[in-house]
Structure 1
Amino acid sequence: MSALSRPDRDALPYRDCVGVAVFNAQGNVFIGRRKPEPSGDDVSEVEAPWQMPQGGIDPGEDPLRAALRELFEETNIASVSLLAEAPEWITYDLPDELLGIALRGRYRGQRQRWFAFAFTGNDSEIDVDHPGGGKVEAEFDAWRWERLSRTPQLIVPFKRPAYEQVAAAFADIPQRFTQA
């Protein structure tokens, strides 16, 4: 797409979304490796394919409900208890070369409401190959537990500032598990 045909960034809205940090008993967070999308439209796998679960908020949907829905749809995880909510919306902008292409070309980036949950189930509950009880298409092809502080280095570079904000918002949570 040439600069002449690129949409005006300021004219595009942010897509309202949620992000989910799920902490295990050791204080590490769930991260999944994004599967490449057939359209080539999703760039999350290009440089750093790992991320925490996230997704759109449906019209009229409460952000907390959206977080629980997205978590189940992407990981099959249902056994969680709420630990915290980030104090503010966290945004990221698409880079110029993806504007008008990624996010179906309709958004400048995402405005995300982040939630932290304690995982209260067993790892056997996690199923990224058949998430959502096997009713939705898999978005991840692998997963692991990781230190929250490392997540900004594992995400695509244009989302790094958002993940730094998430790591700062939930920085005290890993210590809660190690002190228990």
Structure 2
Amino acid sequence: MSVKEKYRPNVAMIIMSHEYPKQKQIFIAQRNDLGDIWQFPQGGIDEGEEVKEALFREMEEEIGTKQAEIVAEYPEWISYDFPPKIAKSMKPYKGQTQRYFLVKLHKDADINLDTKHPEFSSYKFVGVDEVLDITAHFKKPVYESVINYFKDEGLL
């Protein structure tokens, strides 16, 4: 694989409220650097870092808590390409290859977006069917695949 075709290893999470599975409300956050873009928390996996270790580190870095438990894991890596506007700032990567987890927040989890390096300006919990209406267009195919997998498994 050439440098131009390199994908950044990444972990991503569909975070459910502490009321899950009684209520199926998904955490979604508005990016503070890309206008009206909403997404799931995600982040790079450091070299030598285990995927689940990265999951909880990224969760804490992005939403200020790691008080959650893993419910399920998407069974394979899933990739997407960056749009040209974003790709320029993400060189040498063409896109990201991600490992997705479905996680449930603990009742005492305290979400705090005012982290050391804030990535989000606000957040909300939305129903499963609302997520795709408000997320970044270039991530929709990945989101749709992951959500449909968890739906088929009876988890969403």
* TM value normalised by structure 2: 0.86
1:34 — aligned with what? 31
C-alpha RMSD of matched pairs (Å): 1.9
1:126 — aligned with what? 111
How far is the alpha carbon of 1:141 from its aligned partner? 0.6
1:98 — aligned with what? 85
1:110 to 96, 103, 107: 96
Aligned partners of 1:100, 1:145: CA distance in 2, in Å? 29
Q: How many residues align?
A: 149
Aligned partners of 1:140, 1:79: CA distance in 2, in Å? 18
* TM value normalised by structure 1: 0.76
2:124 to 144, 164, 169: 144
User: Which structure 2 segments of 5+ residues have no match?
Assistant: none
Give deviations 1:69-92, integer Å, cap 9, x for gaps.
101110012221110000111111
Mark the structure with the bigger radius of gyration.
Answer: 1
2:140 — aligned with what? 160
Q: Cα distance 1:99–1:33, how it changes in 2: closer, same or farther (>3 A)?
A: closer
How far is the alpha carbon of 1:153 from its aligned partner? 2.3
SS at match of 1:168: helix
Q: Cα distance 1:54–1:99, how it changes in 2: closer, same or farther (>3 A)?
A: closer
Aligned partners of 2:59, 2:96: CA distance in 1, in Å? 17
1:5 — aligned with what? none
Give deviations 1:37-89, integer Å, cap 9, x for gaps.
xxxxxxxx24x511110000000111111011101110012221110000111
